[in-house]
Structure 1
């Protein structure tokens, strides 16, 4: 059910605010009145379920100052300004600051109703979009699998929410092992086609004729339907899109053009190009590349994700420990620093392999993380990234990991965590707030 929209009317003149309120109420709006901007600010804030109608000239906080305060709290809040005769320049300045529109006294009541409808419709769309984004970003499923709190991961989740709800085709690229197929799943799961078909196909290692028939048909033996039919109305993920020969690229572009806008079937193309010095743009025909890359997501390499590395290692190690029926290894400060400094050319896939081997060797009671890193690089010393970080960052990352691990092991018991880490409650609370850890996440 759509959320009921309110209209907050702010005017120091009682007759004016009552007149506006009565007219808008007769037009079917839910109104509330305030004699001053200061009073209105006690109620009207971020995510206010409605719009504001405010006079510009008021004693105390005037309308312009009020507008600026509202914009600083919620820049998408529609505010309709009422100006006196001759105050049009001030109204124009209000529009520049962020006002939705303005009315000059004496105004036509029908014009007021028209603006109120437009403003409330705009506000409803904004609030619905925010609610959906919160539901998707906080919900379970694919978005939950995109673990990490680093700035690059926050941006990635925002990009997925934005592009997932758009209609166009998408190109995903990034280094090997960064999770491109997982992101394709996430794009589908947060979009309008979430309940429809999701088909993945790798274009690598196929000859030209077989590729064309598998994607477009006709199939030789009739045992399979072409991919464009199998995925009709949903999402078709083409992994290794850079492996498509020119003739198949041309057919794919022609088929995409035939679909029109919005497309019935969405293409999510994944580039896994490993050839040194080349990008997907170099191997795809330009018109196909730009059609796909109009919406593009480039996944961040693991080495740029900071303490996400420790979070991921811990989660992976716990999963493998449960699978193998043993305890997960606990990292020392030295091992944590080595994980943070490693270059991770294989990214998350490499970290996953290392976590599994760490669990297996911990079960045997032998080996260290250092030895595993050296085995990965085949050198006497574990390879380190050249992207150096201050000591403080390593210490904070290790501290956050310790608190996170201990909280999860004790299922959110503050007393147990205080005892194990020898921390007073106030210090533990301060550190959890600093690192964005919430007790409810562990219960």
Structure 2
């Protein structure tokens, strides 16, 4: 969950600071106040999680000097300038330098709230994209986000890198909980638009009329700018594209046709159909479908990812154990087989929930993985059968998980791992090479 955005209020007049702070606090913002620019600059770092509201006329460092200092610290921090009537030309100059907007005294508090919402939304997108770019700045980090060495996951990573460099629209399909939104983030982060806007929009979140305005405009006075405008020049991700009505599909197609080639704004559509017998192609207009599906990625379901499931479970359990301050639960051979054979209808999202519950059970000293997998009779049957999988696959998956877990626990100490697993050095080396495990990853 994203943290609340802060608003730094800078004004030498105490009453004005308190008035703005109280109003924005009532509007749901987290505010902090400063009597001068020098004081505020002490907390305004490159990744400051918020925006700045500042007066132009202040003793010492004035608003214009302050603005230039902020832009030197982090040019993307939105700065809203407050100006008196006679300072409007100065405010216009501030906009030229890079101010987000300005308010002329006496200003309407609702206008202040409106600007604060737009500015904090812009800042959140900037920080989210910045974080994502850092995480996906190299192949190792990309592997960390999209865990797995199964063939489907290797192919998915290759597709992301290939399609990320292209400039056309993309259609992402796959079952619920497989990580389609993460793939959309990755496509944007590894592409040429990584420094541009990234806007995530749910097509299932509004009624027909509101959806049309929020997506394509024109927006009403009390609404944010339409998503298509907000994402201009960057990437617009449309979740649940299949819920768009035929009329809205036609309007969206018209907007896409107006953009030309390459498109001004790249659209990544996420299709999340759950109804049996239906496909994205069958519910979208053919011309819209083929426009979106020229570049297509299908995210594999968890049940097709083999031993990736155990790797994912271990990583997730470690994270939750660290969060709850307890030991990471270890799977037995039987539990590992059950995890590998479970149908996972909720995919990665379901695995995340189960890993957290497993950690909580372990902390209490009760429960088992088997009990967590027994959601209903059909799931229970699927979870405890090994039919259709050769024994060798289960043995290798469990063996890899066991060595991986032991290496993590002993922080890469080969001697400690050899002692705990009763393995000679040569055998351990051979097995680590076989499973692609490297000691340097655990140090």
What TM-score do you get using the length of structure 1 for normalisation?
0.67
**2:338, 2:385 within 8 Å by CA — same for their partners in 1?**
no
**2:188, 2:235 within 8 Å by CA — same for their partners in 1?**
yes
Q: Does 1:307 align with 2:318?
A: no
Aligned match of 2:254: 254
Aligned match of 2:415: 415
Shift of 1:385: 7.0
Shift of 1:216: 1.3
Aligned match of 2:150: 150
**1:235, 1:266 within 8 Å by CA — same for their partners in 2?**
yes
Aligned match of 1:431: 431
Aligned match of 1:202: 202
Aligned match of 1:89: none
**1:168, 1:262 within 8 Å by CA — same for their partners in 2?**
yes
2-structure distance, mates of 1:306, 1:404: 16
- More displaced, 136-145 or 311-320? 136-145
Aligned match of 1:109: none
C-alpha offsets along residues 195-217 of structure 1, whole Å, 9 cap, x if unaligned?
11111011014222111100111
Unaligned runs of 5+ in 1: 1-134
2-structure distance, mates of 1:309, 1:286: 36
- More displaced, 139-148 or 335-344? 139-148
Shift of 1:408: 1.5
Shift of 1:144: 2.4
Q: Does 1:396 align with 2:396?
A: yes
In structure 2, the CA distance between the partners of 1:385 and 1:263, relative to structure 1 (3 Å rule), is: farther
- More displaced, 384-393 or 164-173? 384-393
Unaligned runs of 5+ in 2: 1-134
Taking the TM superposition and a 5 Å limit, the aligned residue runs for 1:244-283 are: 244-283=244-283
- More displaced, 181-190 or 413-422? 413-422
2-structure distance, mates of 1:140, 1:264: 31
Shift of 1:323: 1.1
Aligned match of 2:294: 294
Task: Say which SS state the counterpart of residue 397 (structure 1) adopts.
Answer: helix
Shift of 1:223: 3.7
2-structure distance, mates of 1:141, 1:210: 38
2-structure distance, mates of 1:172, 1:434: 33
Q: Does 1:211 align with 2:211?
A: yes
Aligned match of 2:226: 226
Task: Say which SS state the counterpart of residue 389 (structure 1) adopts.
Answer: coil
Aligned match of 1:331: 331
Aligned match of 1:171: 171
2-structure distance, mates of 1:145, 1:229: 30
2-structure distance, mates of 1:340, 1:380: 13
Q: CA RMSD in A?
A: 1.9
In structure 2, the CA distance between the partners of 1:240 and 1:380, relative to structure 1 (3 Å rule), is: closer
Aligned match of 1:358: 358
2-structure distance, mates of 1:239, 1:385: 35
Shift of 1:379: 6.5
**1:235, 1:268 within 8 Å by CA — same for their partners in 2?**
yes
2-structure distance, mates of 1:255, 1:347: 34
In structure 2, the CA distance between the partners of 1:325 and 1:376, relative to structure 1 (3 Å rule), is: farther
- More displaced, 323-332 or 384-393? 384-393
**1:370, 1:382 within 8 Å by CA — same for their partners in 2?**
no
